[in-house]
Chain A
Amino acid sequence: MPVITYREALNQALAEELDRDPNVILMGEEVGQFNGAYKVSEGLLERFGSKRILDTPISEAGFIGLGLGASMLGLRPVMELMFWSFYSVAFDQILNNAANVRYMSGGLIHCPIVIRGPANGGTNVGATHSHTPENICAHHPGVKVVVAATPADAKGLLKSAIRDNDPVMFMENTILYNDKGEVPDGEHLVPIGLADIKRSGTDLTIVAHGRAVLTSLKAAEQLQAEHKISAEVVDLRSIRPLDEETILKSVRKTHRVLLVEENKPFCGVDAQISYLIQEKAFDDLDAPIKRVSAIDAPQIYAPALEREHQLPNPARILKAALEVLR
């Protein structure tokens, strides 16, 4: 299988879907001539033309709303937010319109739109450019929320998202764009709503999503090497719909749970998963659930602190895992 970057995997997914369906268009700030702020859309303007690859003004509420309106009639717009942090500017369109229009119309209308772009902290860009809003989006029935940790998942999930008839919030991670991995050529679909066991284990279940999966995998290797602890790493991939079955199955196998995410802890995704486990697998737990999240503060700029201290790191995961296993 070819080894390509996360960025190239997303680019492949976009190109293949643009090629497959003339209703697919890509829109966003600098996605065309500039090839995307993070070069995810490299070469697409040249290949598909300015009718389908549209450079928008800096105007998130306007163009996200425009894409949504177009999706109501059956186009399949892929909207790039230069940073997911800018969701707040377009949130009326995402929350009041994308999430609600199907319901408020009694099912008469649906919106096959994908809103995608880089999320998360870790690149020293300060609090306004480091949002991780999967919990905020997932709170609202009517939208789906997807987070890819690997190049293969990035491609397969984005292709599925574009074909999905519901609004999909697709969150990438700025730090991961250069990560490499094996990605199948051509048609490769990862179903939305299906978690993936990224590492099989017997002593502890670590549930994570996005880059936290990779951090957790590093910690799991260390747990194995240094403590002979076999950790299973469950990659959620999709926050909503949530693959409860895969999570619970793993919990019933290992009986111990550690939740890891790059978001802030308060009302985070892991709060929901923690509740799910206590509700449906309480008797299977041999120890209280623990969480490792970003430190509960606005994202710090200081390069010396952000990635290694504010966000979950292998050391913090290792420490928490040992506490769960104590």
Chain B
Amino acid sequence: MSKKTAANNEPKAADGAKAEEAANPISAAAQAPINAKLKPEARIELFRTMVRIRRFEERCLRAYQQGKIGGFLHLYIGQEAVATGCVSVLGDNDHLITAYRDHGHGLAVGMSMNEMMAENYGKATGCSKGKGGSMHYFAPDKNFWGGHGIVGGQIPLGTGIAFALKYKGLKGACLAFMGDGAVNQGAVHEAYNLAALWDIPVVFIIENNGYSMGTSQTRSSAGESLAKRAEGYGMTWGICNGHDLYEVRDKVAAAIQLAHEKSRPSVLEIRTYRYRGHSVSDPDSTYRRKSEVEDYRRTKDPLQLFQTSLIAEGVLDEEKAAKIDAEARAEADAAADFADASPPPTVEDISKDIYWEQDAPADQRTKGRLLFD
């Protein structure tokens, strides 16, 4: 697929334009300034991140099937280009927050497979010391304010994070991720209203994978578009092809620029697809046909599309791609071994990390460990 052909099919970049499936969307958006300036090594790193997310997820699934991971496990397989693309355009003062499908975001911001897998295993070496689990990753040192378990409940928080950035005079934005199911939650609309009313530099990102748990979007959301609801709040909105890493980067960068320069919020609906069920306990057979998933995998897999693009661009070859893949698999295996060998939290640990006051050493109690102190 040539770059030229793809460019002709590039959906209009204007906000609200209907995203059409382009023949080769990846190489089309690759010509956008933010992508054109990417060095070959940086492109390969983006590919590596996507591969690592995929292999980590697959390893998680196996661990779940082995009974090593408890509770829910919401896999991100199929959506890798979204988190990878979004995080790759963030600056030092940009932050993000997401819902329970948070593994991709965690790896994208630079969390280690070890701390993530150990968290899934409920081990003391996990990012949240085994207290949060798969749905609740946090890495505030990487500007990542968590995976949150209640659909839409994190959206006001993300708006507040962006509010705080503006209050402190920092040129920053917060990406507040939600799934398509969240758009019908009241908290999301309350946050939209506040953000638009107060000029809060937040980017609301709808990762639209087509299904709100097991209910397809056509059966759960009224109106012609999820993002278009932003119009009612006077917010800029857009739709983006989520299989195309380059397009994700381009559109998110534009939204961040709007936040940085005009302190305006926006809504970006990134159309993507998940290959697995809502969570691993979801048999995924009652609400969609197997062929739907297979068709998608065959024609729009973000990993495959990007690999094809990179090979066409001449920055990657099959051999190198296979090596990156093998490294990611080995890393995920090692993370599982690490998690296996790690100790669970102790019984005493159950009662820690509830109140700052109880945990903080006496000298910290008057000062605190807060970003703005």
Contact B360 A61 (CB under 8 A): no
**A64 interface residue per 8 A CB criterion:** yes
Contact of A97 with B by CB under 8 A = yes
Q: Which of A43-77 contact B (CB under 8 A)?
A: 51, 54, 56-57, 59, 61-75
Q: Which 5 A-B pairs have the closest CB atoms?
A: A69-B160, A65-B156, A62-B190, A74-B372, A74-B370
A93 pairs with B131, CB closer than 8 A: no
B residues near A96, Cβ cutoff 8 Å: 148-150, 153
Residue of A nearest to B162 (CB): A69
Closest residue of A by beta carbon distance from B360:
A165
Could you list 26 A-B pairs, sorted by A, with CB under 8 Å?
A: A62-B190, A62-B191, A65-B155, A67-B160, A69-B97, A69-B162, A72-B161, A74-B164, A74-B368, A75-B167, A92-B153, A93-B153, A101-B146, A103-B353, A104-B131, A105-B140, A106-B129, A106-B130, A106-B138, A107-B356, A109-B145, A110-B356, A110-B370, A142-B355, A144-B355, A165-B356
Bound-state Cα–Cα, A268 to B272, Å: 48
How far in angstroms is the closest Cβ of chain B from A28? 13
Instruction: Name the interface residues of A70-123: CB closer than 8 Å to any CB of B.
Output: 70-75, 92-93, 96-97, 101-110, 112
The minimal Cβ–Cβ distance linking A19 to chain B, given in whole angstroms, is 17
Nearest-CB distance from A164 to chain B (Å)?
Answer: 7
Q: How large is the interface on B (under 10, 10 to 19, 20 to 34, 35 or more residues)?
A: 35 or more
Q: Could you tell me if A69 and B129 are in contact, using CB atoms closer than 8 angstroms?
A: no
With known contacts A59-B190, A61-B190, A62-B190, A106–B157 Cβ distance under 8 A: no
Interface size of A by CB at 8 A reads 43
CA distance A63 to B365 in the complex (A): 27
Task: Say whether A106 contacts B160, CB under 8 Å.
Answer: no
B140 pairs with A93, CB closer than 8 A? no
Q: Assuming the A-B contacts A63-B190, A102-B353, A104-B138, are A70 and B167 also in contact, with contact meaning beta carbons closer than 8 angstroms in the complex?
A: yes
Are B352 and A109 within 8 A (Cβ)? no
**CB-based nearest A residue for B188:** A62
A105, B157: Cβ atoms under 8 Å?
no
Nearest Cβ in chain B — how far from A32, in angstroms? 13
Given contacts A107-B352, A109-B140, contact A66 B370 (CB under 8 A): no
- A23 CB-CB contact with B under 8 Å: yes
CB interface residues, B 227-246, toward A, < 8 Å: none
In the assembly, what is the distance between CA of A25 and CA of B160, in Å? 12
List 9 additional contacts besides A61-B187, A62-B156, A105-B353; criterion CB under 8 Å.
A66-B157, A73-B164, A74-B368, A102-B355, A106-B127, A107-B129, A108-B140, A141-B355, A144-B355
The complex places the Cα of A196 from the Cα of B98 at a distance, in Å, of 43
Q: Does chain B have a CB within 8 A of A306? A: no
Give chain B residues whose Cβ lies under 8 Å from the Cβ of A17.
none
Instruction: Please name the residue on chain B nearest to A193 by beta carbon.
Output: B357
A26 to B: closest C-beta gap in Å:
13
A166 within 8 A of B: yes
Bound together, the chains give a CA A103 to CA B349 distance in angstroms of: 10
Complex CA gap A166/B191 in Å reads 23
Is B126 in contact with chain A by the CB < 8 A criterion? yes
Listed in ascending order, the chain B residues whose CB lies under 8 Å from chain A are 95, 97, 126-132, 136, 138-140, 145-146, 148-150, 153-165, 167, 174, 186-187, 189-191, 193-194, 197-198, 352-357, 359-360, 365, 368-373
CB distance from A324 to the nearest CB of B (A): 35
Check if B370 sits within 8 Å of A73, measured CB to CB. yes
- Report Cα–Cα, A108/B143, bound state, in Å: 12
Q: Nearest B residue to A66 by beta-carbon distance?
A: B160
Name the B residues within 8 Å of A65 (CB-CB): 153, 155-157, 159-160, 187, 190-191
Q: Which residues of B contact A108 (CB under 8 A)?
A: 128, 138-140
CA distance A225 to B370 in the complex (A): 54
B186 contacts which chain A residues (CB < 8 A)? 61
Among B164, B194, B352, point to the contact of A63 (Cβ < 8 A): B194
CB distance from A35 to the nearest CB of B (A): 20
Contact check: which of A62, A73, A101, A110 meets B194 at CB < 8 Å? A62
A112→B159 CA distance, assembly (Å): 17
B156 engages A69 (CB within 8 Å): yes
Q: Which of A51, A75, A144 has the most CB of B within 10 A?
A: A75
**CB neighbours of A164 from chain B (8 A):** 357
Which chain B residues border A61 with CB–CB below 8 Å?
156, 186-187, 190
Q: Which residues from A are CB-within-8-Å of B136?
A: 104-105
Find out whether the CB atom of A75 lies under 8 angstroms from the CB atom of B355.
no
Complex formed: what's the CA distance from A57 to B354 in Å? Answer: 31
Task: For the complex, give the distance between the alpha carbons of A105 and B154 in Å.
Answer: 14
